[in-house]
Structure 1
Amino acid sequence: MTATLARHTVAAALTLSSALVLAACANPSDGGTTEVAATKGSTTKINLSPDQNRVTTGKVDSIAAEVPERIRKRGTLEIVASSGSAAPLNFHATDNRTVIGVEPDIAHLVADVLGLEPHITTVSWENIFVGLDSGKYDAGFSNVTDTEERKEKYDFATYREDNLGFEAKKGSGLKVRGPADVAGRTVAVSSGTNQEKLLIEWSKENEKAGRKPVDIKYYQNDSDTYLALRSGRIDLYLGPNPTAAYHAATTGRTEVVGTYSGAGASLQGLIAATTKKDSGLVQPLADALNEVIRNGTYAKVLERWGLSDEAVSKSEINPPGLPRSNK
Structure 2
Amino acid sequence: MSTPRRTLLRALPAAVLVGTAASVTVGCTRASERLDAESNTVPEVDLSGIERQDDLAAMVPAPIRERGELINGAALNYAPGEFVGSDGEAVGYDMDVLAAIGQVLGLSTRTESAVFAQIIPSIGSKYDVGISSFTINAERLENVSMVSYFQAGIAYAVRTGNPYDIDPADLCGKRVALQVGTYQEELSLERSDQCRDAGRPGYDMLAYVSNSDAATNVAGGKGDILMADSPVTAYAVARSRGTLEQIGDIEESALNGIVVPKDQPEFAEALRGAVQYLIDSGHLREIFAAWGNENGMLERAEVDPQP
Instruction: Indicate the TM-score class for this superposition, using the shorter chain for normalisation.
Output: 0.7 to 0.9
The 1:190/1:78 distance shift into structure 2, 3 A limit, reads same
| Match runs of 1:245-260 below 5 Å | 245-251=234-240, 252-260=242-250
Q: Give the gaps of 5 or more residues in structure 1.
A: 1-24, 35-45, 322-327
| Percent identity of paired positions between Structure 1 and Structure 2 | 26
Q: Distance in 2 between matches of 1:55 and 1:127?
A: 33
Offset, 1:215: 2.8
Q: Report whether the alignment pairs 1:126 with 2:112.
A: no
Partner of 1:153: 143
- From 65, 76, 87, the equivalent of 1:83 is 76
| Match runs of 1:90-105 below 5 Å | 90-93=82-85, 95-105=86-96
The 1:208/1:182 distance shift into structure 2, 3 A limit, reads same
The 1:177/1:187 distance shift into structure 2, 3 A limit, reads closer
Q: Distance in 1 between matches of 2:113 and 2:282?
A: 28
Q: Distance in 2 between matches of 1:272 and 1:198?
A: 21
How many residues matched? 270
Q: Distance in 2 between matches of 1:27 and 1:76?
A: 28
1:103-126 residue CA offsets vs partner (Å, 9 max, x unmatched)? 111111111111111111122322
Equivalent pair of 1:55/1:105 in contact (CA under 8 Å): no
Once structures 1 and 2 are overlaid, which stretch shifts more, 221-230 or 101-110? 221-230
- From 50, 70, 82, the equivalent of 2:63 is 70
Offset, 1:274: 1.3
The 1:290/1:131 distance shift into structure 2, 3 A limit, reads same
1:143 aligned counterpart, secondary structure:
strand
The 1:116/1:197 distance shift into structure 2, 3 A limit, reads same
Q: Distance in 1 between matches of 2:234 and 2:173?
A: 24
Q: Distance in 2 between matches of 1:152 and 1:303?
A: 32
TM-score by length of 2: 0.77
Offset, 1:130: 4.0
Letter in 2 for 1:154: V
Q: Report whether the alignment pairs 1:239 with 2:228.
A: yes
Offset, 1:208: 4.5
Q: Distance in 1 between matches of 2:153 and 2:249?
A: 7
1:249-283 residue CA offsets vs partner (Å, 9 max, x unmatched)? 3222222223433xx3xxx3011111233333322
Q: Give the gaps of 5 or more residues in structure 2.
A: 1-34
Partner of 2:277: 291
Q: Distance in 2 between matches of 1:171 and 1:86?
A: 24
